[in-house]
Structure 1
Amino acid sequence: MRAARCEAYGGPSTIVIHDIPAPEVTPGHVLVDVAAAAVNFPDLLFIADQYQVSAELPFTPGSEFAGRVAEVGEGVTHVAVGDPVHGSVFSGAMAEQVLAPATSVARVPEGLSMVEAAAFRVTYLTAYHALITAGGLQPGQWVVVLGAAGGVGTAAVDIATRLGARVIAAASSAERLEVCRELGAEAGIDYTSEDLKARIKELTGDGADLVLDPVGDRWAEPALRATRWGGTFVTIGFAGGDIPKIPLNLVLLKNVTLRGLELRTWTVRLAEETARAQAGLAELVAQGMRPAVSEVHELDDVALALQRVADRTPTGKVVISIGSSEATQQQRSQS
Structure 2
Amino acid sequence: MTTSSAVKAVTAVKAVKAATKAVLFHELGGPEVLQVEDVPLAGPGPGEVLFRVEAIGLNRAEALFRAGRYYYQPTLPGSRLGYEAAGVVERVGEGVTEFSPGDAVMSVPAFDFGVHGVYAERAVLPAESLVRRPEGADAVTSAAMWLTYSTAYGGMVETGGLAPGDHVVITAASSGVGTAAIRTALRIGAVPIAVTRGEAKRERLLELGAAHVISAGSEDLVKEVKRITGGRGAELAFDAVGGPGFAAVGDALVPGGTAVIYGTLDRRPVELSMNWPLAVHGYSNGAHSRDAAYRRRSAAFIGSGLASGALAPVIAETFDGLERVTDAHRLMDSSTFTGKIVVTV
Same fold (TM over 0.5): yes
**Which of the numbers 217, 230, 235 marks the counterpart of 2:243?**
217
- Once residues 117 and 303 of structure 1 are traced to their aligned partners in structure 2, the CA distance between those partners, rounded to angstroms, is 22
The answer to whether structure 1 residue 86 and structure 2 residue 106 are counterparts is yes
- Once residues 237 and 158 of structure 1 are traced to their aligned partners in structure 2, the CA distance between those partners, rounded to angstroms, is 19
Q: Do 2:81 and 2:118's aligned partners in 1 also have CA atoms closer than 8 Å?
A: yes
Question: Which structure carries more relative contact order (alpha carbon 8 Å, separation 6+)?
Answer: 1
Match of 2:259 in 1: 233
TM superposition shift of 1:203 = 0.8
- Once residues 233 and 193 of structure 2 are traced to their aligned partners in structure 1, the CA distance between those partners, rounded to angstroms, is 11
The answer to whether structure 1 residue 100 and structure 2 residue 125 are counterparts is yes
Match of 1:29 in 2: 48
Q: Do 1:23 and 1:97's aligned partners in 2 also have CA atoms closer than 8 Å?
A: no
Q: Do 1:66 and 1:118's aligned partners in 2 also have CA atoms closer than 8 Å?
A: yes
**Which of the numbers 41, 47, 67 marks the counterpart of 2:60?**
41
- Name the aligned partner's letter for residue 263 of structure 1: N
Q: Do 1:7 and 1:59's aligned partners in 2 also have CA atoms closer than 8 Å?
A: yes
**Which of the numbers 238, 262, 274 marks the counterpart of 2:284?**
262
Q: Do 2:43 and 2:93's aligned partners in 1 also have CA atoms closer than 8 Å?
A: no
TM superposition shift of 1:26 = 1.5
TM superposition shift of 1:278 = 1.6
Match of 1:286 in 2: 307
Aligned residues: 317
- Once residues 166 and 283 of structure 1 are traced to their aligned partners in structure 2, the CA distance between those partners, rounded to angstroms, is 21
- Once residues 317 and 137 of structure 1 are traced to their aligned partners in structure 2, the CA distance between those partners, rounded to angstroms, is 24
- Once residues 247 and 181 of structure 2 are traced to their aligned partners in structure 1, the CA distance between those partners, rounded to angstroms, is 20
Match of 2:219 in 1: 194
Query: Kindly tell me: are residues 237 and 266 of structure 1, through their superposed partners in 2, closer, same or farther at Cα, counting changes over 3 Å?
Result: same
TM superposition shift of 1:218 = 4.1
TM superposition shift of 1:260 = 0.8
Q: Which has the larger radius of gyration?
A: 2
Aligned partner of residue 53 in structure 1, secondary structure: coil
Q: Do 1:34 and 1:95's aligned partners in 2 also have CA atoms closer than 8 Å?
A: yes
Query: TM-score, normalization: structure 1?
Result: 0.91
- Name the aligned partner's letter for residue 289 of structure 2: T
Aligned partner of residue 203 in structure 2, secondary structure: helix
Aligned partner of residue 20 in structure 1, secondary structure: strand
- Once residues 42 and 258 of structure 2 are traced to their aligned partners in structure 1, the CA distance between those partners, rounded to angstroms, is 42
Match of 2:9 in 1: none
> Matched residues, percent identical?
35
- 1:25-81 Cα offsets, whole Å, 9 max, x none, are 112221110001111111011111211111212122111000001111222222211
Query: Kindly tell me: are residues 287 and 243 of structure 1, through their superposed partners in 2, closer, same or farther at Cα, counting changes over 3 Å?
Result: farther
Unaligned residue ranges in structure 2 (runs of 5+): 1-19
Q: Do 2:245 and 2:271's aligned partners in 1 also have CA atoms closer than 8 Å?
A: no
Runs of 4+ in 1 over 4 A off after TM superposition: none
- Name the aligned partner's letter for residue 295 of structure 2: T
Q: CA RMSD in A?
A: 1.4
Match of 1:309 in 2: 332
**Which of the numbers 64, 73, 90 marks the counterpart of 1:70?**
90
Q: Do 1:123 and 1:151's aligned partners in 2 also have CA atoms closer than 8 Å?
A: yes
Aligned partner of residue 174 in structure 1, secondary structure: coil
TM superposition shift of 1:108 = 0.5
Q: Do 1:23 and 1:98's aligned partners in 2 also have CA atoms closer than 8 Å?
A: no
